[in-house]
């Protein structure tokens, strides 16, 4: 059975923790899109970790971690991340890499940096991990699949020289930088070949056999619905689809095999990078929430940048759940809100004098003003509570209000950063 775990919002919803927890009862965990720009924070018995390319279920001995064909594969980062885990006492993980995954090249990172530098104040807020240039090359058919590393070396070398011929025109004449040496890139690819060799397999065949054998497979998404290139806050989005349905493509399985979609929703809002954010708050109010938030303050796990903060946005979250095809919701970082007397919730957007509950495209978002309702806070610490009924009444009311707005059952409530600091509940919306 295949289950997907994805984000409903701008990313940073707490997917890492939920994936780590669900991986306990899974056999295989698959990353199906994005790359080293991910930042999934895990706190477990081994310590605290920020994973960037490995799946978040990598800490279990019984699981196999898979890098699917849809991932922007930074080979150096992958190997370094595995080595780092082992050095910190984590057992050697079982990792497989699709032979159809494309390689994130060293010059992709350079191009990311050069373009952000060129754009200056009009930049996209990139993590500078090379993601946009990578996917540009993939769809321009000038990228390199893992299987090409094991092809004839002369063929590989000829392609490197051919690709860099056009790349260097941009490097020299648009960015005014020193040209990239194709021989250096070719030698780097030969190094990559030996680094990745132990992990390479036909992942689609591996997953086909696993499905036939009744294995439990977890597809792990990166970022959230609002960063999807088609359905997010375009153009301030990522470069690969963040939706659960893409998990089938990015892993190499039939779409009908995805039976459940766990969508992670934050109990307040946060975002890294530029783009429309209707419920955003500022000043001391934002600083206090940022300081208390997450598992050590709201700062990007990949960039370290302070996250933009906002109140819970029911319009954006409901849309995010719908686009993911959510079958259930995991509500995270609820424990953070215990200091507040009142909890504003954005329940609509006012655009040109009219209020809508639907999430519009970017030009309309730019004009949107939040419409709030306010719920009473619970003013107490809820960490350590394991039963839903033991939560303060106002806390339960907040959860149930959000559930009604989302129109999707909330089955899990995270009330702390630890692996098992989570409350399972039965929703009245569960069929």
Quick count: other Cβ atoms within 10 Å of Cβ 118? 12
Find the angle CA(65)-CA(70)-CA(303) to the nearest 5 degrees: 80
Please identify which residue in the block is written with the tokens 């906002």. 310
> Sheet holding 308-310: strands in order across?
269-271, 308-310, 280-281
What local confidence, expressed as pLDDT, does residue 36 receive?
82
**SS in 3 state form for 188-244?**
HHHHHHHHHHHHEECHHHHHHHHHHCCCCEEEEEEEEHHHCCCCCCCCCCCCCCCCC
Of 14, 10, 7, give the one whose Cα is nearest residue 279.
Answer: 10
pLDDT of residue 43: 80
Q: Which domains does the chain have, with CATH numbers?
A: 2-101+198-262 (3.40.440.10), 102-197 (1.10.300.10), 264-424 (3.90.170.10)
What integer pLDDT is reported at residue 273 of this predicted model?
Answer: 82
pLDDT for res 301 = 61
| Structure token pair of residue 75 | 């080979």
Q: What b-and-e string marks burial along 217-232, b requiring 16 or more CB atoms within 10 Å of the CB?
A: bbbbbbbbbbbbbebb
pLDDT confidence of residue 189: 98
Q: Two tokens at 246?
A: 């893409």
For residue 31, the tally of other CB atoms under 10 A from its CB is: 29
Calculate the CA 318 to chain-centre distance. Answer: 18
Please name the residues in contact with 3: beta carbons below 8 A apart, sequence gap of 6 or more: 22, 26, 216, 217, 218, 219, 258, 259, 260, 261, 262
How far apart, in whole angstroms, are the C-alpha atoms of residue 63 and residue 139? 32
Q: Find the distance separating the first CA and the last CA of the chain, reported in whole Å.
A: 19
Contact 46, 90 (CB under 8 A): yes
Q: How far apart are CA 51 and CA 48, in angstroms?
A: 10
Question: Would you name the residues annotated as active-site residues?
Answer: 12, 40
- The runs of H, that is alpha helices, within 297-376 are 314-324, 362-365
Give the closest residue to 98 by CA, choosing from 145, 157, 51, 56: 145
Q: Which residues contact 136 (CB under 8 A, 6 or more apart)?
A: 239
Residue-level pLDDT at 54:
92
Q: What SS3 state is found at 416?
A: coil
CB 278 within 8 A of CB 346: yes
Would you state the pLDDT for residue 424? 95
Strands 2-7 and 258-266: parallel
The tokens describing 431, both together, are: 């069929």
* Pairwise CA distance, residues 147 & 65, whole Å: 19
Task: Report the pLDDT value the prediction gives residue 86, as an integer from 0 to 100.
Answer: 93
| Distance between CA atoms of residues 421 and 311, nearest Å | 23
The answer to whether 104 and 120 have CB atoms below 8 angstroms apart is: no
Of 165, 156, 50, which is closest to residue 103 (Cα–Cα)? 156
- Per-residue pLDDT tens, the chain, 431 aa: give them: 999 999 999 998 989 889 888 999 999 999 999 988 767 777 877 888 888 899 888 888 999 999 999 999 999 999 999 999 999 999 999 999 999 999 999 999 999 889 888 887 666 556 678 999 999 999 999 999 999 999 999 999 999 999 999 999 999 999 999 999 999 999 999 999 999 999 999 999 999 999 999 999 999 999 999 999 999 999 999 999 999 999 999 999 999 999 999 999 999 999 988 899 999 999 999 999 999 987 778 887 666 788 999 999 999 999 999 999 999 999 999 999 999 999 999 999 999 999 999 999 999 999 999 999 999 999 999 998 999 999 999 999 999 999 999 999 999 999 988 878 999 999 888 76
| Helix axes 106-119 and 131-139, enclosed angle (nearest 10) | 110
Distance CA 258, CA 215 (A): 13
**CA distances, 199 to each of 60, 153, 158 (Å):** 18, 20, 26
Please, are residues 212 and 2 in contact by the beta-carbon 8 Å criterion? no
Residues in the chain: 431
DSSP output for 131-165: HHHHHHHHHTT---BGGGGGS-HHHHHHHHHHHHH
The pLDDT score that the predictor gives to residue 198 is 97
């Amino acid at each position: 059975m295949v289950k997907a775990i994805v984000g409903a919002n701008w990313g940073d919803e707490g997917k890492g923790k939920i994936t780590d927890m669900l991986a306990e009862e899974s056999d295989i965990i698959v990353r199906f899109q994005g790359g080293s720009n991910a930042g999934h924070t895990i706190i477990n018995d081994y310590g605290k970790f920020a994973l960037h390319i490995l799946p978040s279920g990598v800490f279990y001995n019984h699981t196999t971690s898979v890098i699917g064909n849809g991932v922007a594969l930074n080979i150096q980062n992958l190997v370094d991340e595995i080595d780092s885990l082992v050095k910190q006492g984590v057992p050697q993980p079982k990792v497989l890499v699709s032979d159809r995954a494309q390689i994130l090249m060293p010059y992709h990172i350079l191009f990311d940096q050069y373009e952000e530098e060129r754009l200056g104040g009009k930049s996209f807020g990139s993590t500078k991990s090379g993601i946009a240039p990578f996917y540009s090359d993939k769809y321009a058919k000038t990228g390199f699949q893992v299987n090409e590393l094991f092809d004839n070396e002369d063929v590989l070398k000829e392609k490197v020289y051919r690709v860099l011929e056009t790349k260097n025109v941009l490097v020299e004449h648009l960015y005014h930088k020193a040209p990239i040496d194709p021989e250096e890139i070719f030698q780097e690819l030969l190094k990559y070949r030996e680094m990745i060799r132990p992990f390479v397999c036909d992942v689609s065949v591996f997953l086909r056999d696993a499905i036939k054998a009744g294995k439990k497979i977890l597809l792990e998404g990166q970022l959230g619905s609002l960063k999807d290139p088609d359905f997010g806050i375009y153009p301030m989005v990522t470069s690969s689809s963040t939706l659960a349905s893409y998990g089938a493509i990015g892993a190499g399985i039939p779409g009908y095999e995805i039976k459940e979609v766990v969508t992670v929703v934050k109990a307040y809002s946060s975002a890294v990078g530029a783009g429309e954010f209707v419920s955003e708050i500022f000043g001391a109010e934002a600083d206090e929430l940022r300081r208390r938030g997450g598992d050590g303050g709201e700062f990007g796990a990949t960039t370290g940048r302070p996250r933009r903060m906002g109140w819970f946005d029911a319009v954006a979250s409901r849309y995010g759940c719908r686009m993911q095809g959510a079958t259930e919701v995991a509500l995270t970082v609820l424990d953070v809100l215990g200091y507040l007397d009142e909890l504003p919730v954005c329940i609509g957007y006012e655009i040109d004098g009219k209020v809508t509950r639907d999430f519009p495209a970017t030009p309309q978002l730019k004009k949107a003003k939040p419409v709030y309702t306010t719920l009473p806070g619970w003013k107490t610490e809820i960490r350590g509570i394991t039963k839903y009924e033991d939560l303060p009444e106002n806390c339960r009311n907040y959860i149930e209000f959000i559930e009604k707005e989302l129109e999707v059952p909330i089955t899990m409530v995270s009330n702390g950063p630890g692996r098992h600091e989570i409350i399972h509940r039965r929703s009245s919306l569960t069929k």
